[in-house]
Chain A
Amino acid sequence: MSQAEHHIVPIKTLTAVIAVLGVLTIVTVAAAQFDLGSFNVPIALLIATIKASFVISIFMGLKYGNKTNALILAVGLIMVVVFVTFILLDTEFRGDTSATESGTIMQSEQTMPAAESH
């Protein structure tokens, strides 16, 4: 039947992928032993993303399969990005409503002669 026509991932490929994943795990642990300052998080995330893409494309067969499934995954990931980004838009700027430090409208009003009524 038709399922016999599915792409069969060769054992050689699978073995190569698991080897890469193992090495990358060691790399990420090793990288974490050094303090790279603000690069700590991006490097850890970059390595994790590379690992995940290997699992997705080869182990899960997304590379060989139906493109619709890749689109589904992409849409899901976009939503995760939306979720994180928009919440950070709030949490990173929390309190800016009442921020009246230098350079704000309030202050410029105070320095302007028209605002002498203060």
Chain B
Amino acid sequence: MSATAQDASINFLNYDKSLKSWLFTKDHKRIGLMYLVAVSIAFLAGGILALLVRLELLGPGETIMGPDQYNQSFTLHAVLMVFAFIIPAVPAVFGNFVLPLQLGAKDVAFPKLNLASFYIYLIGVVIAMSALLVGRIDGGWTFYAPYSERVGDSILYVTTGVFVMGFSSILTGLNFIVTVHKMRAPGLTWNRLPLFVWSIYATAIVQVLATPVIGITMVLLFLERFLSIGIFDPALGGDPVLFQHFFWFYSHPAVYIMILPAFGIVSDLIGTFSRHRVSGYLFVALSSVAIAFLGFLVWGHHMFVSGQSATSSIVFSLLTYLIGIPTGVKVLNWVTTLYKGSISYKTPMLYALMFLFTFSIGGFTGVMVGVLGIDIHLHDTYFVVAHFHYVMMGGSVIAGLGALHYWWPKMTGRMYNERLGKIAATLVFFGFNLTFFPQFIMGSRGMPRRYYDYLPEFQQMHQLSTYGSWVLGVGLFMILGYLLMSLKTGKKAPSNPWGALTLEWTHTTPLPHPHNFTQTPVVVRGPYDYHLVPEMFENAAEDGSVKSVHDVSQPAS
């Protein structure tokens, strides 16, 4: 039938190596890889800025830069990391590459839109960064009015960039929702979806529902500057707290855009590397959706000291506790999955376990700062900085690194060096904790965030934190190094190096061109049914690839 005999040596990476074939590709795999390059550059830039900020804080007073440059550095670090790196990173990189494969689809529902979304993202980043040529951007990534209305014009470039990147995020989310609904392979029912798909689906819901509001907020900010429409500026009769509401209506759900995909990754990693069905599958899956919706009801916890009414603060605080329930459901189920699993400590699994530790700290401290009274004390201190770095970096980035190692063989057709991977993972773990744990301590003692200078009593903690950032930096650069090296010298990857059961591993590595699957797969089992098919692993070939007995069946003709 459709089985046009495909040349096994032709794959999606090498069928056409011209730059043009990459820039105009509509292949979700190539778009995913282009995103990977783009967000890695953003991460590198943001990371270097973070190292500089930490270096400046090594001692009180001026160390390497003045207060003005310091303000600009942390602002730029935040803008890059939040909007250019972490929001697009996991959904757009791994969502693009893996989602259609895990669904057994040939591509996402709207491939042209997908490519457009990538370029819109790039344009947004370029606009935002061109602010640097115009002038200074400081005041943090939250653009609170009325400061953002009075400071120099460069902030307009940033907000316009954010507005544009928002479109990219919406289009990606829209694309993924439709893809999950309409492009699933025959037999791939909702309760057979890999948990990564569920989490990307939940993320996409948030992207679609929340992002338009940041769009209108940026438009209003723009109009406020040019026409003085008096909505947010108290001098004109406006209300600055409304700006914060608008901003956080998006930006709080946005933190779930950052963390939800990480949940999915960890579910997949823990299932795969403990050879165990993810326990409470349905609860883990639905808790993603629950978090997506609950995430919309809690934005006011960023505003406990903004002057919003106590009534709303109390409601927001109570609802914030609720987030702990679905999140707890996930963490407990991951731990239960490990129980009696046969765990193999491959690099991706190390990151998954690391995630359990660091994310739990981030989550628990999140509940703490959700408590009204405690938040009054901890608001705008390093405690909050440490909390969200434990969630964003300890959660999303660590899980993202796990995903990168896990899917790297599928993406590039090469294996990275496992030993270097483990060393780097260890460095990242210790470096990360050394960087951010001291910040909890000094935050609880009153060290305010975003300050250029500090009292001598905080110096010890700041120094520990800066040393930690060096260890973390070494770990991350090491990863960059050995991954790039693996492209040249890495072993050729087998089709299923981890013996995983989700659909993307059932096909050759690298994946063929033009279609992901030579024939549409028919799914007959769940994504983690390791208990059903023990013989698959006993009979696994040398390279770890699994024979397709009991595996995804293919149409007979």
Direct contact of A and B (CB under 8 A): yes
Query: Do residues B312 and A86 form an inter-chain contact, with CB atoms below 8 A?
Result: yes
Query: Taking the complex as formed, is B297 at the interface, i.e. its CB lies under 8 A from any CB of chain A?
Result: yes
User: How many Å lie between the Cα of A114 and that of B473 in the bound state?
Assistant: 59
Q: Across the interface, which residues of A come within 8 angstroms of B213, CB to CB? A: 83
User: How many Å lie between the Cα of A86 and that of B294 in the bound state?
Assistant: 13
The number of residues on chain B lying at the interface, defined by a beta carbon within 8 Å of a beta carbon of chain A, is 21
Query: Taking the complex as formed, is A89 at the interface, i.e. its CB lies under 8 A from any CB of chain B?
Result: yes
Query: Do residues A89 and B315 form an inter-chain contact, with CB atoms below 8 A?
Result: yes
- Chain A 67-93 residues near chain B, CB threshold 8 A: 68, 75-76, 79, 82-83, 86-87, 89-93
Q: Across the interface, which residues of B come within 8 angstroms of A90, CB to CB? A: 241, 245, 300, 308-309, 311-312
Q: Across the interface, which residues of B come within 8 angstroms of A76, CB to CB? A: 209
Query: Do residues B308 and A82 form an inter-chain contact, with CB atoms below 8 A?
Result: no
Query: Taking the complex as formed, is A117 at the interface, i.e. its CB lies under 8 A from any CB of chain B?
Result: no
Query: Do residues B309 and A97 form an inter-chain contact, with CB atoms below 8 A?
Result: yes
Q: What distance in Å separates the Cβ of B322 from its nearest Cβ neighbour in chain A?
A: 14
Smallest CB gap from A76: residue in B? B209
**Which one of B299, B309, B316 has the greatest number of beta carbons of chain A within 10 Å?**
B309
Query: Taking the complex as formed, is A118 at the interface, i.e. its CB lies under 8 A from any CB of chain B?
Result: no
- Chain B 301-320 residues near chain A, CB threshold 8 A: 307-312, 315-316
- Interface of B, secondary structure class, is helix
Q: Across the interface, which residues of B come within 8 angstroms of A93, CB to CB? A: 309-312
Query: Do residues B310 and A97 form an inter-chain contact, with CB atoms below 8 A?
Result: yes
Query: Do residues B209 and A75 form an inter-chain contact, with CB atoms below 8 A?
Result: yes
User: How many Å lie between the Cα of A94 and that of B234 in the bound state?
Assistant: 15
User: How many Å lie between the Cα of A97 and that of B209 in the bound state?
Assistant: 31
- Chain B 224-269 residues near chain A, CB threshold 8 A: 239, 241-242, 245, 249
Query: Taking the complex as formed, is B491 at the interface, i.e. its CB lies under 8 A from any CB of chain A?
Result: no
User: How many Å lie between the Cα of A87 and that of B181 in the bound state?
Assistant: 33
From the candidates B205, B242, B309, name the one contacting A96 in the complex (CB within 8 A).
B309
Smallest CB gap from B298: residue in A? A86
Query: Taking the complex as formed, is A95 at the interface, i.e. its CB lies under 8 A from any CB of chain B?
Result: yes
Smallest CB gap from B303: residue in A? A90
The number of residues on chain A lying at the interface, defined by a beta carbon within 8 Å of a beta carbon of chain B, is 17
Query: Do residues B181 and A82 form an inter-chain contact, with CB atoms below 8 A?
Result: no
Query: Taking the complex as formed, is B528 at the interface, i.e. its CB lies under 8 A from any CB of chain A?
Result: no
Query: Do residues B311 and A83 form an inter-chain contact, with CB atoms below 8 A?
Result: no
Query: Do residues B209 and A79 form an inter-chain contact, with CB atoms below 8 A?
Result: yes
Q: Across the interface, which residues of A come within 8 angstroms of B315, CB to CB? A: 86, 89
Smallest CB gap from B311: residue in A? A93
Query: Do residues A86 and B309 form an inter-chain contact, with CB atoms below 8 A?
Result: no
With A79-B296, A82-B297 known as contacts, the answer to whether A87 contacts B309 (CB < 8 A) is no
Q: Across the interface, which residues of B come within 8 angstroms of A83, CB to CB? A: 213, 249
Q: What distance in Å separates the Cβ of B135 from its nearest Cβ neighbour in chain A?
A: 33
Query: Do residues B311 and A96 form an inter-chain contact, with CB atoms below 8 A?
Result: yes
Smallest CB gap from B205: residue in A? A75
Interface string of B206-234 (1 = CB under 8 A from A): 00010001000000000000000000000
User: How many Å lie between the Cα of A90 and that of B245 in the bound state?
Assistant: 9
User: How many Å lie between the Cα of A92 and that of B181 in the bound state?
Assistant: 40
From the candidates A75, A87, A96, name the one contacting B245 in the complex (CB within 8 A).
A87
Query: Do residues A94 and B309 form an inter-chain contact, with CB atoms below 8 A?
Result: yes
Q: Across the interface, which residues of B come within 8 angstroms of A86, CB to CB? A: 245, 297, 299-300, 312, 315-316
Q: Across the interface, which residues of B come within 8 angstroms of A91, CB to CB? A: 239, 242, 309
- Chain B 439-482 residues near chain A, CB threshold 8 A: none
Query: Do residues A94 and B308 form an inter-chain contact, with CB atoms below 8 A?
Result: yes
User: How many Å lie between the Cα of A1 and that of B447 in the bound state?
Assistant: 68
User: How many Å lie between the Cα of A107 and that of B417 in the bound state?
Assistant: 70
User: How many Å lie between the Cα of A111 and that of B360 in the bound state?
Assistant: 47
From the candidates A68, A79, A82, A89, name the one contacting B309 in the complex (CB within 8 A).
A89
User: How many Å lie between the Cα of A47 and that of B242 in the bound state?
Assistant: 29
**Which one of A68, A86, A96, A97 has the greatest number of beta carbons of chain B within 10 Å?**
A86
User: How many Å lie between the Cα of A68 and that of B177 in the bound state?
Assistant: 11
User: How many Å lie between the Cα of A96 and that of B310 in the bound state?
Assistant: 6
User: How many Å lie between the Cα of A97 and that of B307 in the bound state?
Assistant: 8
Query: Do residues A95 and B312 form an inter-chain contact, with CB atoms below 8 A?
Result: no
Interface string of B179-209 (1 = CB under 8 A from A): 0010000000000000000000000010001
- Chain A 17-72 residues near chain B, CB threshold 8 A: 68
Q: What distance in Å separates the Cβ of B72 from its nearest Cβ neighbour in chain A?
A: 32
User: How many Å lie between the Cα of A94 and that of B242 in the bound state?
Assistant: 12
Q: Across the interface, which residues of B come within 8 angstroms of A95, CB to CB? A: 309
Q: Across the interface, which residues of A come within 8 angstroms of B300, CB to CB? A: 86, 90
**Which one of A82, A89, A93 has the greatest number of beta carbons of chain B within 10 Å?**
A89
User: How many Å lie between the Cα of A25 and that of B385 in the bound state?
Assistant: 54
Q: Across the interface, which residues of A come within 8 angstroms of B312, CB to CB? A: 86, 89-90, 93
Interchain residue pairs A-B with the least CB separation, the first 10:
A93-B309, A89-B312, A93-B311, A90-B312, A90-B308, A97-B310, A90-B309, A96-B309, A96-B310, A79-B209
21 A-B residue pairs with CB within 8 Å: A75-B209, A82-B297, A83-B249, A86-B245, A86-B297, A86-B299, A86-B315, A87-B242, A89-B312, A90-B309, A90-B311, A90-B312, A91-B239, A91-B309, A93-B309, A93-B310, A93-B312, A94-B308, A95-B309, A96-B311, A97-B307
Given contacts A86-B300, A89-B312, A96-B311, 7 further A-B contacts (CB under 8 A): A82-B297, A86-B245, A86-B297, A86-B299, A90-B308, A93-B311, A94-B308
